[in-house]
Amino acid sequence: MAKYPKFLIEHFQNPKNLGEIPDADGVGTVGNATCGDIMQMFIKVNGEKITEASFKTFGCGAAIATSSILTERIKGATLDEALKISEETSMEVLSQLPKEKIPCFTLAKDALRLAIDEYRCKLEGFHEKGGFDSEEFEKD
C-alpha cells in the first residue's frame, strides 16, 4: 500500500472548502479519463482577487486532499497568482504522490484553470460555453 505524507492525509480526513459556491463567478469541470471520476472547482472573484474557492468531486482520497490544499492556497490570490500557486503545488504534491495518483491532482489543477478561464470569458463578454454573448454584442 502506498505511503502518503501526513499533510495529504490530514486534508483527506478533514477536507477544507468542500461543496459548491452557488453564485460562483467561475466554475471548472473536468473528468479523469483513467478512472472516470469528476471534479468541479468554484471560485468567487472580486476584481482580480479570488475571495472564495471550493470544490466537489467524485474522486479518490488523493483528489480530495489535493483539491483541499489547492483551494486553501489560492484564497486571497490574484488569478495569475492562483495559476502560479497551482503550478508550485503541482511540483510539491506530485513528488509525494504515487505515480498512479498523479492524474488525481491534475484534476484539481485543470478544474481551477477552467474556472479562471470561464470567469475571464464572462468578463470579456463571451458566453459560459465559449461562444459569444449575443446580448452584449447587440449593445455595442
Active site residue 121: no
CB 38 within 8 A of CB 58: yes
Single out the catalytic residue among 69, 70, 104, 108: 104
Q: d(Cα 70, Cα 90) in Å, to the nearest integer? A: 9
Of 130, 128, 68, 125, nearest to 93 (Cα)? 68
Grid coordinates representing 34? 483513467
The number of beta carbons lying within 10 Å of the beta carbon of residue 113 is: 16
Single out the catalytic residue among 35, 83, 85, 102: 35
Answer for which of 45, 107, 111, 121 binds ligand FES (CB under 6 A) is 107
Active site residue 35: yes
Which residue bears the cell 458566453?
A: 127
Q: Looking at beta carbons only, is 5 or 76 nearer to ligand FES?
A: 5
Q: Looking at beta carbons only, is 53 or 101 nearer to ligand FES?
A: 101
How do the residues of the chain divide into helix, strand and coil, expressed in percent and rounded to 5? 50, 20, 30
Answer for which of 35, 85, 94, 102 binds ligand FES (CB under 6 A) is 35
Q: Looking at beta carbons only, is 28 or 59 nearer to ligand FES?
A: 59
Residues in region 43-72 near ligand FES by CB under 6 A? 59-60, 62-63
Binding site for ligand FES (CB under 6 A): 32, 35, 37, 59-60, 62-63, 104, 107
